[in-house]
Chain A
Amino acid sequence: MRQLRLILFWLTLAITLIAAPSAHAHLMNTGFGPFSDGLTHLFVTPEDLLPVIALALMAGLRGPRFGRAVLFALPVAWLAGSTAGLLLASPVALPVTETIVTIALGVLLATDRPLPRAAVVCLAILLGLFHGILNGSELPKQSLSSQISAAGVGAALFVAVSLLAGQAASIRVLWARVAVRVAGSWIVAIGLLMLGWAMRIPG
């Protein structure tokens, strides 16, 4: 039964990634208000979702204390970053830097590095601030709905990290731990291809 649950969880995660219809730099309009727009944003934006998956799984593999620390540090830093991003005059887009961050987190997950908790929390804060600023700079300025959308993104992060880190922290068998590390190598591979795509010269 436990194995069935694990399989269902990973199947759901894979299908969530597959079902993401396209990358949305701007929030998509769900028709349920700004909070739902923000809530949905994370799950339909692989550029944001992939580093979050890598970080949450990495924290989970290190244990529940690491997972709990990231669970609070990442959404709070992301919200702070979004607020800072809202103050910027024009949207910021750094696709290559975003991809390099994703690759770095994927490498840490694939190699299963035993980082100290402070380092994992620092990574969560840096990732949250960086992506939060990018997200916030894309939102409409001087609008209450932007703040509500950012709160929606924060809620989605809380849910995603708690599910992923919780599942990774509960792993007891070697093959499941290896499977999580393989997921890290897949994130690195996706990141490398994205990097190639970003650096590609047309023609």
Chain B
Amino acid sequence: MKNFIRHAGAVRRSFVVVFFLLYPLTVFAHKRGGEAIGFASGFLHPISGLDHILAMVAVGMWGAQLGAPAMWVLPVVFPMVMALGGMMGLIGIKLPGIELCIALSALALGFAVCREARPKLWVAAIIVGVFAIAHGHAHGTELPLGASGVLYSIGFVIATGLLHALGITIGLIHRWPAGRIALRVAGAVVAMGGVFFLWKAISGEAA
């Protein structure tokens, strides 16, 4: 009983969490014509492509490898720059070589993690920023037309942020000697994925 009273605050909050989990949401089996359908489709969008996942997780891993302040500057800056690219895509501003840049992002970021590259913070921020614009633009161009994209945007940004958080969490193994090697191997795997997507992008453009 004493334990229960001591944890009453946490229990109350858990009830609130459960309440919102059980909160009824409208479910759509199909997309409504020409309308963004909300949080779920926005959340699933960034995690629907492996090239995007690899690049965003690699940003987090690289940030963790670089340590403070890059570890928190990159996750603060990336969503804003990516959304700027998304906005450009949404309003129809064309940018050349987006697919190539996306493919290159996984290769370059994976290579940076593999090599434990330590450029100056502003250089790292520019590299990540350019790739963020490319990823955001691609997402923005692909987004369905919608009367209100608020919930879609919330889902989209949260999914992107969680991918960074995943990368940072993986990157925290960097503090152990074996972890440093494992992280560099993970970077090499991301870079190999980047080579595959780059090959696909080049062959797609040639065709």
Interfacial residues, chain A to chain B (CB-CB below 8 A): 1, 4-5, 8-9, 11-12, 14-23, 46-47, 110, 178, 181-182, 184-186, 188-197, 199-202
Instruction: Tell whether, in the assembled complex, residue A15 and residue B150 are in contact, meaning their CB atoms are under 8 Å apart.
Output: no
Q: Are A185 and B86 in contact (CB under 8 A)?
A: no
Further pairs besides A23-B150, A189-B82, A192-B83: 11, Cβ < 8 Å: A12-B17, A15-B17, A23-B151, A178-B72, A182-B161, A189-B153, A190-B153, A193-B87, A196-B86, A197-B36, A200-B92
The residue from B9, B79, B140 contacting A186, defined by CB atoms under 8 A apart: B79
Determine if B25 and A196 form an interchain contact, defined as CB atoms under 8 angstroms apart.
no
Q: A21-B25, A199-B91 are in contact. Are A8 and B83 (CB under 8 A)?
A: no
Interface size band for B: 35 or more
Instruction: Please judge, given known A-B contacts A23-B150, A46-B150, whether A181 and B76 are in contact too, CB under 8 Å.
Output: yes
CA separation between A195 and B82, bound complex, in Å?
A: 14
Which residue of A has the minimal Cβ distance to B145? A202
Q: B17 touching A22 by the CB < 8 A rule?
A: no
Q: Is the interface of B mostly helix, strand, loop or mixed?
A: helix
Shortest C-beta distance, B134 to chain A (Å), equals 16
Residues of B participating in the A interface, judged by any CB pair closer than 8 Å: 9-10, 13-14, 16-17, 20-21, 23-26, 34, 36, 38-39, 72, 75-77, 79-80, 82-84, 86-92, 140, 143, 145-146, 148-158, 160-161
Taking each of A8, A178, A197, which has the highest tally of chain B beta carbons within 10 Å of its own beta carbon? A197
* B25 near A192: Cβ-Cβ < 8 Å: no
Contacts of B77 in A (CB 8 A): 185
Chain B residues near A16 (CB-CB < 8 A): 20
Q: How far is the CB of B89 from chain A (nearest CB, A)?
A: 7
Do A196 and B154 form a contact, CB below 8 Å, given A5-B9, A178-B72, A182-B161? no
- Out of B90, B149, B154, which one reaches A17, CB within 8 Å? B154
B92 touches A201 (CB 8 A): yes
- Check B149 against A194 for contact (C-beta < 8 Å): yes
Which A residues are in CB contact (< 8 Å) with B156?
A: 193
Neighbouring A residues of B146 by C-beta, 8 Å: 197
